[in-house]
Chains A and B, each alone.
Chain A
Amino acid sequence: MNRTVNIISKNFKKYNPESIEEYLELGGFEALKKAIEMGPQEIISTLKTSGLKGRGGAAFSTGRKWEYSANVKGDKKFIICNADEGEPATFKDRYLLEYDPFKVIEGMIIAAYTTGSTDGYIYIREEYKYLHNKVRKAIELAEKHGFLGKNILGSGLNFNIKVVSGAGAYVCGESTALIESIEGKSGRPRLKLTRTSKQGLFGLPTLVNNVETLAAVPPILEMGVEEYIKYGTHTSKGTKLISLCGNVNKPGAYEVPFGITLREIIYDIGGGIKDGKQLKFLQLGGASGAIIPAKLIDIKYCYEDLEEHGASVGSGAILVADETNKVTHFLKSVQDFFIHESCGKCTPCREGNRQLTKIINRFVTGNASVEDLKTVEKFANVMKYASFCGLGQTAPTALLTAIKYFPVEFYQQIDRIRKTS
């Protein structure tokens, strides 16, 4: 039974992304026309009703974010599409850029029209270099057809988009680090005394949205918000693109309605566990997400139910691990990632990750002590509450949830009690 839906992913593999004519035939840019008829206020209230939240992981209300941006005054305002998809196990934005770049562009133009922005940037990670010129080509075609440039569709909106490349830094997915990088600096996050919607790129008002968030706007306007919120649950409305991967038979990016169970995702959509093995655990939302055990797979995939179990939707990554994997070994690879990607700006993240790595290594080699378990939790909590940006704050999530759900695997690796003064 097919449990996926086609709202954001409607056009995937249905047209040649190098042909704007084919996109137009599929109803492309109709949402933009509708948006111009609606006007900024109505677009914002529609998005609020839709319940659309930031799909990069932060899950902040898109309607409210756009409202802030629209209310900020300025002659020059920016929109940044965050395509620095660096979260391990996440690749759904790649599908969007690869199979439906025009929808992302259309979403950006609607955002520009709503907030009165003049310049757009699509910040694509270096690892997706093969997509840079494809997206540039799409922008060029949109320009030729009058969807970008001066006085777009007679609305008075002047808007242009540029593609900027990342250079291999996970932390640049954080909006202020991303902005630093566009400004030609090393990508370390900024102290956020004011919102980026007021002071962002070059100190000017800037709206930063994830690829999927922007791509969700045209379908919502096109199908009508009433139709859109028929999908999902009461509090998690609509649909989500998930990146399903790991020890699963059919890995890939799929669109699902919120409220579907994890079991349906893994077995009906993903075709079950590879080689007929048993499921052991899942990691949701990428390397910075929680680990949950197989016994919880009947919970619903939506913001509120996951939160109840200490997990979150995050970027939409669903990583499946079978029974042959040791939790501690898995955590080591997660920790290797964070120690590599910590930018070093703040002490809790820089030193915290270093200490966590040391301790996890002891759990891997089997010579951890009882105190290590306590120390790990203490350090993890310092990181969670005192780190400068989301990277350090979420880095210990996997570890903390793993201890919660798989304590025995940690106890087994303890060989002594270390007397500390």
Chain B
Amino acid sequence: MDKFKVDQELIAKIDRILESYDYDDNSVVNILLEIQSHIPENYIPEEVAKYVGIELGIPTSKVYDVITFFSAINDKPKGRHVVQLCKSSVCRLNKYQTIRDVLEEELKIKMGETTKDGQFTLRYSACFGACDISPAFRIDDKVYGNLTKGKIKEIINTYRGL
């Protein structure tokens, strides 16, 4: 993996986010979430974590305490689109395994992996509250439910090249 390059454009974005939170270190969780959404690889690179710590006046260790605790904040690069398949007890009753097999076949990767072109990451989610339309997955912020094989392919195709 190449070292992450922090460019001026990203710094400007981060500064705008920090400013919108008045540089309040209490908001570090929400600040990190928002910064992450501006980084195509969907994670907080070390350089960014350090920068945020300095700007908020808190040690890097405190920033990492938050990054590593919360599952919505990543410390390693992910694909442009993160496909999260729910494997809760509810989705188990509705056979999420079938959906997993279709996803793995369609994206040609296993759970936990990222496609070679960096487009998709496939991972499990503990539960995102879409039990009424289970089995379900979410791609980025959008939730898809009542899935069938044909529907999954169609959904994935709309994200290709995006």
Give me the interface of A with B, judged by CB distance under 8 Å. 85-91, 94, 125-130, 164-170, 181-188, 202, 243-247, 251-253, 283, 287, 317, 319-322, 325, 329-330, 333-334, 336-337, 340-341, 343
Contact = CB atoms under 8 A, between A and B. Distances in A.
A167 B73 contact: yes
A86 B127 contact: yes
Contacts of A183: 26
Contact of A130 (B92, B93, B143): B143
B143 A181 contact: no
B88 A287 contact: yes
B134 interface: yes
Nearest to A126: B72
Please indicate which of the listed interface residues A170, A245, A334, A337 has the most CB atoms of chain B within 10 Å of its own CB: A245
24 contacts: A86-B126, A88-B126, A89-B131, A126-B72, A127-B129, A130-B143, A164-B30, A167-B33, A167-B66, A168-B126, A170-B126, A186-B68, A243-B132, A245-B132, A246-B131, A247-B93, A252-B132, A319-B89, A319-B131, A330-B89, A333-B89, A337-B88, A340-B126, A341-B126
A336 B87 contact: yes
B42 to A, nearest CB: 13
B28 A184 contact: yes
B2 interface: no
Contacts, number: 134
A385 B141 CA distance: 38
Given A184-B24, A319-B131, A329-B92, 16 more contacts: A89-B131, A90-B129, A126-B33, A127-B129, A130-B142, A165-B29, A167-B72, A181-B29, A184-B25, A184-B28, A186-B70, A246-B93, A246-B94, A251-B132, A319-B89, A341-B126
Please indicate which of the listed interface residues A166, A244, A246 has the most CB atoms of chain B within 10 Å of its own CB: A246
A345 B133 CA distance: 34
Given A85-B129, A186-B65, A337-B126, A321 B70 contact: no
A247 B126 contact: no
Interface residues on B, range: 35 or more
Interface string B52-72: 000000000010011011111
Contacts of B69: 169, 186-188, 343
Interface in B69-99: 69-73, 87-90, 92-94
- Specify the main secondary structure of chain A where it touches its partner: mixed
A319 B132 contact: no
B147 interface: no
Given A185-B66, A246-B93, A337-B89, A91 B28 contact: no
A182 B31 CA distance: 12
B70 A167 contact: yes
Interface string B105-133: 00000000000000000000111111111
B148 interface: no
Contacts of B133: 251
A251 B131 contact: yes
A350 to B, nearest CB: 14
A167 B88 contact: no
A340 B132 CA distance: 22
B33 to A, nearest CB: 6
Contact of A251 (B125, B134, B141): B134
B88 A88 contact: yes
Nearest to A94: B129
B27 interface: yes
A11 B32 CA distance: 36
Contacts of A333: 87-89, 92
B103 to A, nearest CB: 18
A322 B90 CA distance: 12
Contacts of B92: 329-330, 333
A337 B90 contact: no
B131 A283 contact: no
Nearest to B142: A130
What are the nearest 5 A-B pairs in CB distance? Answer: A168-B72, A186-B69, A167-B70, A127-B128, A168-B71
A343 to B, nearest CB: 8
